[in-house]
Amino acid sequence: MDIKELEKVIKESSFSMHEDYIKSLIKPSVEISKIASKIKIASSKLGGIPDVPIDFKWPKHEYGDYRFVAQFNLSEISNPFPYFPQKGLLSVFIADDEDGNFFWGDDGYAKVYFFDAENELKPLLNSNFNNQPSIPVKLEPSLDIPFRDELLEDSPLNDEQTEELIYEVLEKVDKKLNYLLGYPFYSSLAYDPRPGENWISLLTLSSVDELNWCWHDGDFLMLFIEEDKLKEKDFSHIKSDAG
């Protein structure tokens, strides 16, 4: 989302008199967009095979192996973000199995690893996940505002203006539904999914048919991290939700 595009939409909206309030809500985000490109070692992608250090052991849970979901090469982001690593690889796994032994909000449902040395990474095959489809993506700096009323703090908007922000503005600003940071995005929840006031949104992923991703009946997977942990590049404690 471009700030000029957002400003234009606000000025044309029924809540234009609250422009300062809307702008106060803005958070940095990183859009994850599909591209037509050859996938290389340590490049950003959804699905496929993870690139990891030689001594990396595939994470396991009590029912089997975690499923690799995505990796993001942070050096591909053109503008640095406060507290966010400016280089290195984020690798995301989830405790997903066919028998449904795990719930989206369970502790340990998602595991995120941060690898600092990109040039020492190698693909790691897992015979339990053969022929996994993969989508190359690019990472682009962007902005985000809340698109759910549960995320609007001290809002001066009335019900009609809130509905316009949540539904109409969403379409006009061409918001991407796969992104890092920003605010969580969800369809069926009626509560703020962030675990607490010190927790921020780390990753939001939409359901994708070609990757066999179906989060909560076709909705969104959201991962969260404590802000202090992000500053320390500590991704060992991640919470999640879907809806």
For the chain, the structural domain boundaries read 3-242
Report which residue type is found at 219.
D
pLDDT tens profile 167-223: 888 888 888 999 999 999 999 999 999 999 899 999 999 999 999 898 988 999 999
Does the predicted model carry a pTM greater than 0.85?
yes
Question: Shortest CA distance to 26 belongs to which of 197, 211, 183?
Answer: 183
Element (H, E) at 35: none
The encoded tokens of residue 215 equal 């989060």
Question: Shortest CA distance to 110 belongs to which of 234, 226, 221, 227?
Answer: 221
| pLDDT of residue 239 exceeding 80 | yes
pLDDT computed for residue 216 by the predictor: 87
* Distance, first Cα to last Cα, the chain: 23
Q: What is the mean pLDDT of residues 22-46?
A: 94
Adjacent-strand bridge partners of 143: 28
| pLDDT of residue 96 exceeding 90 | no
Element (H, E) at 206: strand 199-206
CA 129/CA 132 separation, integer angstroms: 6
Write the CA distances from 94 to 3, 59, 108, integer angstroms.
33, 9, 8
Rg over alpha carbons for the chain, rounded to the nearest Å, is 18
pLDDT tens profile 100-127: 777 887 888 999 999 987 778 999 999 9
Class of domain 3-242: mainly beta
Mean pLDDT of the chain: 91
Q: Are 91 and 116 in contact (CB under 8 A)?
A: no
**b/e burial code for range 106-141 (CB count within 10 A of at least 16 → b):** eebbbbbbebeebeebeebeeeebeeeebbbbbbbe
pLDDT computed for residue 59 by the predictor: 96
